[in-house]
Copies of this chain bind each other. A is one copy, B any other.
Amino acid sequence: MPDAPQSLRLTTPLPLDSGGELAAPTIAYETYGELNADRSNAILICHALTGDQYVASTHPITGKPGWWARMVGPGKPIDTDRFHVICANVIGSCLGSTGPASVAPDGQPYALRFPVITVRDMVRALVGLLDGLGIERLYCAIGGSMGGMQALSLAANWPERAARFLLIATTARHSAQNIAFHEVGRQAIMADPRWNGGDYYAGEAPDAGLAVARMAAHITYLSEDGLTEKFGRRLQDRPDGTQGAKSFGFDADFQIESYLRYQGNGFTKRFDANSYLYITRAMDYFDLADEHGGRLTDAFAGTTARFCVVSFDSDWLYPTSESRHMVQALNAAGAPVSFVELSAPFGHDSFLLDVPALDRVVKGFLE
């Protein structure tokens, strides 16, 4: 189904919110399904913090199916028999688009010389990609979590580029608690001596710090009830075969400990620690109202698109109250918006998992 790895190099410098610019960044992307003759069936899917462009194709490092393969494909809710789906790696990331691990014009990796970017900068690069692909107006822009922030930023700053916006498990601003969890992750990375001020590409990467950052973040993606149901206080079998007994040591006794260590270690194989710093920073800076004079409604002034907002009742990272805040602003701006809070046990990660009600909402909104 997927084409060969694709990328597009922007031919002009990308201006950044910091005041700087990024010279001719590369945007790596994947597409699925055919673009129709009048170029009216394109859907842009924006990925989350640690996501990538492999939305419905095998990940080149892990060999796992695409992160939203259950949602995107022939006959699926985002039907590639009908739509041309585009998903691009955000700038600052590490799966082909220009980021801190990329080689700078001087032949060395950028590392911390890479400019701090914002969600709007990511979207500016995506708009450059759409320009390069000759797509004037999307049928829909879709995103969950940080992907939703990108879709929101597109709606606010380039409202003519999409007819529909589907915003899932997201927020128009990062809360103090959101920032706090990200800061713990950044400090864990920076505390790792191998991080070395970001300059580690010639040696060993700060995997220990990055794993801790991932573990802390991973807890916030799951609900307490979901953790209790999945793991509870169950002990794992000991290496010597003993079942369900405490070790009275510091090995992983509880299944939840083992699971978290696995998540942390696995993550380091596919992600760059500096990218984690840059992307979390971009998310923490995200405050759509602040970008538009302080009133969120003003971010959507004059929009002609349709909106759909979805939250999950067990998501404590971006809770339903944040979605309601967006919906109220969209209503006040006169935008047609539908809103649904879905019941699902998986916490924030619900948008990635088996929630049939989400499938129906997505399919319905794209009709």
- Looking at the assembled complex, report how far the CB atom of A276 sits from the nearest CB atom of chain B, in whole angstroms: 11
A175 at the interface (CB under 8 A from B): yes
Query: Given the known A-B contacts A260-B180, A264-B187, are A175 and B227 also in contact in the complex, defined by CB atoms under 8 Å?
Result: yes
Q: Are B212 and A188 within 8 A (Cβ)? A: yes
A191 at the interface (CB under 8 A from B): yes
Complex Cα spacing A285 to B254, Å: 9
- A188 surroundings in chain B (CB, below 8 A): 188, 191, 212
A359 at the interface (CB under 8 A from B): no
Interfacial residues of chain A within 176-229, with CB under 8 A of chain B in the complex: 176-177, 179-181, 183-184, 186-188, 190-193, 208-209, 211-212, 215-216, 219, 222, 224, 227-228
Q: Look across to chain B and name the residue whose beta carbon is closest to the beta carbon of A187.
A: B212
Query: Given the known A-B contacts A183-B260, A219-B181, A281-B250, are A233 and B174 also in contact in the complex, defined by CB atoms under 8 Å?
Result: yes
- Looking at the assembled complex, report how far the CB atom of A152 sits from the nearest CB atom of chain B, in whole angstroms: 16
Complex Cα spacing A249 to B252, Å: 36
Complex Cα spacing A211 to B209, Å: 13
Q: Are A227 and B257 within 8 A (Cβ)? A: no
Complex Cα spacing A215 to B179, Å: 12
Q: Are A179 and B254 within 8 A (Cβ)? A: yes
Which one of B180, B193, B231, B261 lies within 8 Å of A193 (CB-CB)?
B193
Q: Are B18 and A183 within 8 A (Cβ)? A: no
A296 at the interface (CB under 8 A from B): no
A269 at the interface (CB under 8 A from B): no
Complex Cα spacing A316 to B215, Å: 19
Interface centre among A232, A254, A285 (most CB of B within 10 A): A254
Main secondary structure of the interface of A (DSSP, over half): helix
A52 at the interface (CB under 8 A from B): no
A84 at the interface (CB under 8 A from B): no
A164 at the interface (CB under 8 A from B): no
Q: Are B284 and A254 within 8 A (Cβ)? A: yes
- A224 surroundings in chain B (CB, below 8 A): 175-177, 316
Which one of B248, B254, B285 lies within 8 Å of A116 (CB-CB)?
B248
Q: Are A256 and B179 within 8 A (Cβ)? A: yes
Q: Look across to chain B and name the residue whose beta carbon is closest to the beta carbon of A228.
A: B176
A66 at the interface (CB under 8 A from B): no
Q: Are A219 and B177 within 8 A (Cβ)? A: yes
A120 at the interface (CB under 8 A from B): no
List the interface of chain A (C-beta within 8 A of B).
18, 112, 115-116, 173-177, 179-181, 183-184, 186-188, 190-193, 208-209, 211-212, 215-216, 219, 222, 224, 227-228, 230-233, 246, 248-250, 252-254, 256-257, 260-261, 264, 277, 281, 284-285, 287, 290, 316
Which 9 pairs of residues, A with B, have the shortest CB-CB distance?
A: A191-B208, A176-B227, A18-B248, A116-B248, A176-B231, A177-B224, A183-B257, A176-B256, A184-B215
Q: List 20 A-B contacts (CB under 8 A).
A: A112-B250, A115-B248, A116-B250, A173-B233, A175-B228, A176-B232, A176-B254, A177-B219, A179-B257, A180-B215, A181-B219, A183-B252, A183-B256, A184-B212, A184-B215, A187-B211, A188-B188, A212-B212, A254-B284, A316-B316
Other than the known A174-B233, A180-B215, A180-B257, what 9 A-B pairs have Cβ atoms closer than 8 Å?
A175-B227, A175-B233, A177-B224, A177-B228, A179-B257, A187-B211, A190-B250, A191-B191, A254-B284
